[in-house]
Amino acid sequence: MHVVTKGTLLLGGIGVIIGILMVFAGGSSISDIDDDWFEKEGLLVESGSSYGHQSEDTTMYLFVKRGEVRCDEFELNVTHEDGSDSEASYKHDLCTMEGDRPLGWEDDPIGYYHMGTINDLEEGRVYQIDSEQDVTLIEAHVIEGLVEDIMGGVLGFGVGFSCLCCSFVILLIGVIMIFFMDDEKPATTFEVDSEGRVILGGQQEVGGLSQQSQDEVSPDGGAGAWYEDKSE
């Protein structure tokens, strides 16, 4: 098998493994989110009651049960229970064109609408929550962590799936190369032994240089014999 073909198949195989791991990790991140996270993390504040803020978060996300009030009719006021000045305030989310639901309601917990946020809360202070409906408050870091888990899972799943697709294409190219690329031929080597013979690829190809026969007359010897004959 040609070295380029081997490299292509190896690259495709590694990509498939990485893609499978990323898809699995992304799916696991999303599946780890509990279905009852809202009930576990939510703090119910009844209409017209007080709320003691015991969190380091200065923002609380506010939810109302679906069907109890229209989005464009919901109102809420936040004040210190002792009547002192408070920087805390309620910020209402935008509503749909119809006004009955907040924008982005499709992502809200089942049975609830995210109506807005209470901001600039102080840890350890007690607040009066004035609203005609009961509300559920959830700390900001809980919502932010949940969003990060979902986005990370979706991103991991998407990148892993893309990696799988590309790796399968690379593997397919490698398989095609098996049938169309010739095997790599080894380099030709040669050696010269002590007798002057050239050996190619471990086999003797060319014989050694022939030696002059011992009875061949040297040039000097032949000239000397000719002069001796003339002198006689």
Q: What is the token pair recorded at 183?
A: 């095997």
pLDDT at residue 55, as a whole number? 86
- Which positions ≥6 away from 26 have C-beta within 8 Å? 152, 153, 154, 155, 156, 157, 158, 159, 160
Over residues 63-77, the mean pLDDT reads 92
Higher per-residue pLDDT: 143 or 73: 73
Over residues 36-61, the mean pLDDT reads 85
- pLDDT over 90 at 201, yes or no: no
pLDDT at residue 177, as a whole number? 79
Which sequence spans correspond to the domains of the chain? Answer: 3-32+150-180, 47-133, 190-231
Q: What is the token pair recorded at 135?
A: 């509300």
List, for residues 99-152, the tens digit of each pLDDT value. 999 998 988 888 899 999 999 999 889 999 898 899 999 998 888 877 777 787
